[in-house]
């Protein structure tokens, strides 16, 4: 069972976005899915009516595995906090994304791309799902197999291409909860720099800085005014079923999961589910930052296409 929780939706748009995400998860698995709506601001009747309306537009095989639970009453603000702090159930790894980020890193670093058998070892999965994911990437044109070598070109990657190929990374987005003191990205970055010096075994030891802040380490002259949000990667074992979001509350106690992916989020965490991480160390600042391919992906997710091109040009020079 895949459970997703929608907290206090204020509009049917929130419900539609979460419902489509759950349906997308079920399309790549055989599991059943349940959407739990807690304390909706809109009426439970409106939630049910919108659910029934959207359900008719979803593929019948997936539709039969979807269910809805509405819990209209929230006892107190502390009960809301307990829900937002509990571990979040993770979708299965997206091997299309994991393969692509490894091949892009080889492309950006000028390294010999891995063979298919090496990909199995680097990701830590069996041959069957890796070959199936590779077939889809090759059919889309994002990956080529020539002269016994797998190749992907960073200049050919876009959000549209990733979406069409279903190679989007799994991200978790965090916003400031109602009543919290909103911090600027610069303030969050200052705190993140301290947390990213965590020792092995601590919750933040699996994380690294990505996005604009990491791009500016590689290309100090990149044309970006300020830091629009904090991007992180978290390296999670592919067999891990849940992610403990309480670690993010060390960044700021006012952060909670952003359920609507269409809304802006001040903190975005991309989950990496393969053995190879390529996390780098900024010795001067004493912090960890993401691989070049992860940084590129985060710039695209931010909608910074021109800056992504500039980043690539400098890396290629």
Which range of residues forms the domain containing residue 215?
A: 170-307
- Are 176 and 300 found together in one domain? yes
> 199 in a domain, yes or no?
yes
- Are 218 and 268 found together in one domain? yes
> 303 in a domain, yes or no?
yes
Q: Which residues pair with 256 in a beta bridge?
A: 175
- CA-CA-CA-CA dihedral for 120, 146, 162, 158, to nearest 10: 130
Q: Which of 22, 44, 74 is at the close of a domain?
A: 74
- Are 124 and 68 found together in one domain? no
Kindly list the distances between the CA atom of residue 280 and the CA atoms of 114, 179, 213, 217, 289, in Å, as whole numbers in the listed order.
20, 36, 13, 11, 5
> 126 in a domain, yes or no?
yes
Question: What CATH number is attached to the domain comprising 132?
Answer: 1.10.10.10
> 255 in a domain, yes or no?
yes
Residue with tokens 């997703």: 4
Per-residue pLDDT of the chain (317 residues; tens, 9 = 90+): 787 888 878 788 888 888 888 888 888 787 888 888 888 888 888 888 899 898 888 888 888 889 998 887 544 333 334 444 568 888 889 999 999 999 999 999 988 888 888 888 889 888 899 999 999 999 999 999 877 789 999 999 998 899 889 898 889 999 998 878 999 999 999 999 999 988 888 889 999 999 999 999 999 999 888 889 999 999 998 888 888 888 898 999 899 888 777 788 999 999 999 887 788 988 777 789 999 999 999 999 999 999 999 999 999 99
> 312 in a domain, yes or no?
no
C-alpha closest to that of 301 among 204, 229, 237: 229
- Are 129 and 150 found together in one domain? yes
Helix (H) or strand (E) holding 301: helix 292-301
- Are 129 and 21 found together in one domain? no
Paired tokens of 101 = 């980020």
> 80 in a domain, yes or no?
no
- Number of domains forming the structure of the chain: 3
Question: How far is 176 from 39, CA to CA, in rounded Å?
Answer: 18
């Amino acid at each position: 069972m895949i459970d997703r929780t929608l907290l206090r939706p204020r509009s049917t748009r929130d419900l539609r976005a979460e419902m489509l995400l759950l349906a997308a998860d079920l399309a790549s698995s055989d599991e059943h899915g349940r959407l739990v709506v807690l304390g909706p601001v809109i009426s439970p009747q409106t939630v049910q009516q919108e659910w029934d309306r959207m359900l008719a537009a979803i593929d019948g095989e997936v539709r039969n595995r979807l269910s809805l639970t509405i819990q209209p009453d929230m006892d107190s603000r502390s009960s809301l906090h307990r829900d937002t702090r509990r571990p979040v159930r993770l979708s299965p790894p997206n091997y299309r994304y994991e393969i692509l980020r490894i091949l892009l890193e080889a492309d950006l670093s000028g390294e010999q791309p891995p063979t298919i058998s090496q990909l199995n070892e680097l990701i830590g999965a069996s041959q069957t799902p890796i070959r199936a994911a590779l077939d889809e990437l090759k059919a889309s044109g994002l990956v080529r197999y020539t002269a016994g070598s797998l190749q992907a070109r960073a200049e050919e990657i876009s959000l549209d291409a990733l979406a069409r190929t279903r190679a989007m990374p799994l991200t978790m987005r965090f916003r400031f909860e109602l009543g919290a003191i909103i911090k600027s990205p610069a303030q969050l970055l200052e705190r993140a720099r301290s947390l990213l010096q965590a020792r092995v075994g601590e919750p933040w030891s699996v994380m690294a800085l990505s996005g604009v802040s990491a791009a500016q380490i590689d290309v100090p002259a990149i044309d970006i005014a300020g830091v629009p949000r904090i991007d992180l990667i978290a390296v999670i074992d592919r067999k891990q079923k849940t992610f403990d979001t309480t670690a993010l509350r060390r960044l700021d106690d006012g952060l909670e999961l952003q359920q609507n992916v269409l809304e802006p989020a001040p903190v975005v965490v991309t989950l990496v589910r393969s053995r190879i991480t390529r996390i780098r160390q900024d010795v001067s600042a004493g912090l960890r930052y993401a691989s070049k391919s992860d940084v590129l992906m985060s710039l695209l997710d931010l909608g910074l296409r021109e800056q992504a091109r500039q980043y690539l040009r400098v890396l290629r020079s």
